[in-house]
Amino acid sequence: MLEDATTNVVVATGTDRGGNEVSAEDTVTVETYLPFVEEPDPEISVVKTVDRPEAVEPGGVFNYTVVVTNTGSSTVTLTSVVDDKFGTVYEGEGIVLRPGESRQFNFQMTHKAEGEYKNTVVATAVDAHGGEATASDSARVVVRKSGISVVKSSDAPEGGVLAGSEVTYTYVVTNTGQVTLYDIVATDDKLGVVGEAATLAPGESVTFTVTTVLDETTTNVVVVTGKDKDGNQVRGEDTVTVETYLPYHENDPKPKKQNPPFLPYTGGTIAALIAASTVSMLIGGYLYKKSKED
C-alpha cells in the first residue's frame, strides 16, 4: 500500500558459463493522490425582530435586532448586513464566525404615521475558498389609529321648552379608531360625569342618558376621554343648546322670553289678525272712493 508517491528501482544479476556476472535494472515511479473531498458551501441564517410589532399613532422609536448565525460546517467571514429601509447595518471583513457562532446587531427606526412598515435585512458572508452565503429576514411594524367621538342630543322640541321642564340628554360615545380604548369617561360641563365605560372596542358605541330640569336657556359641552394600550389619551366633544321660554301673562308688558311668541288672547291667530286688517283696509278704500263718486 502506498501512502505517498514512490519510485522503485529493480536490479537483476546473474553469472554466465565463464563465471562472469551480468546485471540489469529498471525504474518505475508510481504517483499517489488523495481522494477528492468536496468542500461544503458556506451557510448562514438571519433572524430579525422588533421590540414593538404594534403601536398606536403617533408611533415612536422602534428597536430592531438582527442575529446572524453560521449554520454551516466551515468558518466564514461576515462582509455585510444591509436593511432595505435603514441602510447599512455592518460592512467590513473583521467578523469571523466559526460553525455555530452568531453575531448580533441593533438599530432604531422611527415610525409615526398610521400604516404598516415592513423592512428586510440581508446578510452576506464568504468562506476561505471564496464561496458566498446570503440570508435574509423581515420584520413588520403596524401603527394603528386611535380616536373617539361623542354625539350629544336632547329630547327638547325645536322651539325649546317651558322653563322648569325636564329635559333628557343622550350621549352616544363611539370608538372611531382601530384599537381598543380603556377608561372612557364622559363629562358634561353642567352636569358632571354622565357616564363611564371600562373598555370600548373599535367601532363600538356606548350610550348614556341624563335627565335634568332647565330653568333657563342652557348650552352644555360634553367632553369624552379614553386611553389606548400605550397610555395615549384620545378626546372628543360635542355641544347642545336647549332654549327655554316663560309662560305669558297679560299683565307682563314685555315678557322676558317667548319662544314661540305669544300674543294676548283675542280668539284668533296672528295670520287671522293680518287678514282682518287687510280686509278692513280694502273696505275702507272702497267706501272712500264711493263717497267721492256720489
CATH number at residue 186: 2.60.40.10
181 close to 200: Cβ distance less than 8 angstroms: yes
Residues 165 and 105 in one domain: no
| Domain edge (last residue) among 122, 144, 166 | 144
Residues 239 and 158 in one domain: yes
106 inside domain: yes
Residues 204 and 225 in one domain: yes
123 close to 85: Cβ distance less than 8 angstroms: no
Burial class (CB in 10 A: 0-12, 13-18, 19+), 208: buried
Please report the pLDDT score of residue 257 as a whole number: 52
Residues 134 and 207 in one domain: no
Please report the pLDDT score of residue 236 as a whole number: 97
* Alpha carbons 254 and 94: distance in angstroms, whole number: 96
* Alpha carbons 150 and 252: distance in angstroms, whole number: 42
Which amino acid type is present at position 164? Answer: G
- Using pLDDT thresholds of 50, 70 and 90, give the confidence band for residue 181: very high
For the chain, give the number of residues. Answer: 294
Tens of pLDDT, residue by residue over 86-142, are 999 999 988 999 999 999 999 999 999 899 999 999 999 999 999 999 999 999 999
256 inside domain: no
Please report the pLDDT score of residue 6 as a whole number: 81
The tally of domains found in the chain comes to 3
Tell me the three cell numbers of residue 264: 294676548
60 close to 110: Cβ distance less than 8 angstroms: yes
26 inside domain: no
220 close to 208: Cβ distance less than 8 angstroms: no
Tell me the pTM: 0.60
SS3 280: helix
Residues 137 and 220 in one domain: no
How much is the average pLDDT of 234-246?
Answer: 95
The residues near 162 (Cβ < 8 Å, ≥ 6 apart) are 244, 245, 246, 247
Residues 52 and 80 in one domain: yes
Please report the pLDDT score of residue 9 as a whole number: 80
Residue 249 has pLDDT above 80, yes or no: no
Residues 229 and 282 in one domain: no
Nearest to 147 by CA among 232, 65, 80, 71: 232
Range of the domain at 139: 44-144
11 inside domain: no
- Using pLDDT thresholds of 50, 70 and 90, give the confidence band for residue 265: very low
Tens of pLDDT, residue by residue over 10-25, are 777 778 777 777 777 8
Residue 266 has pLDDT above 50, yes or no: no
Which amino acid type is present at position 70? Answer: N
Largest CA distance in the chain: 201
Strands 148-154 and 233-242: unpaired
Residues 51 and 135 in one domain: yes
Residues 240 and 168 in one domain: yes
Residue 156 backbone phi and psi in degrees, to 5: -70, 140
6 inside domain: no
- The least confident of 27-31, 38-42, 217-221, 252-256 is 252-256
37 inside domain: no
110 inside domain: yes
